[in-house]
A = this chain, B = another copy of it.
């Protein structure tokens, strides 16, 4: 029996991975290369963090998926990454259809091959406005399907589902998670752009958590207060 953590190399799943280090069962981290726009940076961060955490890490290559998923900014080069607030409807362009079920399915296969256990993913409260597959009702139904999928015991855990991203940042700082190594930016450039919805969410989370943001943002990144004031007006 093992724990398998869905691990993107982002803030949430890195804090999750560090929380799971405290458990007794063997832990594995699983990342999926689905051909995501920001994959080069995200998967590099994931590999480096898993290495320093000392957690076995598998990257499953299904990069051919991207060409089959038109319409998402993360898989379709013709769709721009939206700027603005992460809860703005424009952020729906970032939805990769059924991404969480695909990642959880692959992680569950590995978990079952090791006798079963838990698959854990870092969906949080801030995700639910835009991403249906981060909502509790999705997790409940998929957990039920997993329990029917095999005779070996397995369940789906989502310990952050009622936490804000700021609470996750606080938890990570307290646990010693290497927040500075995590990657969020959906543009996937050399440094975080500081302007896309995902970067704004990251910046706001550090500010709300009153934790110093160690991230290097591009010089072109807008002032956070100005962006948030615009969004809220």
Contact = CB atoms under 8 A, between A and B. Distances in A.
Interface string A139-155: 00110111111111000
A109 B137 contact: no
A151 B132 contact: yes
A158 B126 CA distance: 35
A216 B174 CA distance: 65
A97 interface: yes
Given A113-B71, A113-B72, A105 B102 contact: yes
Contact of A68 (B68, B101, B113, B132): B113
B148 A145 contact: no
Q: Categorize the interface residue count of chain A.
A: 35 or more
B97 A113 contact: yes
Contacts of A96: 109
B68 A58 contact: yes
Contact of A146 (B58, B101, B144, B149): B101
A121 to B, nearest CB: 13
A70 interface: yes
Given A68-B60, A148-B138, A149-B138, A109 B99 contact: yes
A61 B62 CA distance: 6
Contacts of A112: 97-98
B58 A60 contact: no
Interface string A142-179: 10111111111000000000000000000000000000
A101 B145 contact: yes
